[in-house]
């Protein structure tokens, strides 16, 4: 089955990459951009077809490698 993990900075955590992109958009003439935040998406192909097992395994992957739980939050979507 497939898992999609969305990793984003927690509210309040400074996002220098997003700020740089917002400035660049302004310089390119896009005047109406108030803020930009950047996140990552991981699309995983998993051998298991057990949804509960997959969710538990992907949560462990997030805690150990895919996200930094101190400053990032993550959301997991599973699909067949």
Interacting residues toward a second copy by CB under 8 A: 6, 8, 18, 21, 24-25, 28, 30-48, 57, 60-61, 64-66
CB neighbourhood size of 3 (10 A): 20
Nearest Cα to Cα of residue 74 among 17, 10, 15, 2: 10
Helix, coil or strand: residue 30: coil
Minimum distance of a second copy from residue 80's CB (angstroms): 14
Minimum distance of a second copy from residue 7's CB (angstroms): 9
Indicate the residue among 27 and 70 with the shorter CB distance to a second copy: 27
């Amino acid at each position: 089955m497939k898992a999609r993990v969305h990793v984003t900075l927690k509210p309040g955590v400074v996002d220098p990459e997003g700020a740089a992109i917002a400035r660049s958009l302004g310089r390119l003439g896009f005047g109406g951009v108030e803020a930009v935040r950047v996140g990552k998406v991981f699309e995983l192909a998993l051998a298991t077809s057990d949804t509960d097992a997959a969710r538990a395994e992907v949560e462990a992957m997030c805690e150990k490698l895919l996200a930094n739980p101190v400053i990032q939050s993550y959301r997991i979507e599973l699909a067949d």
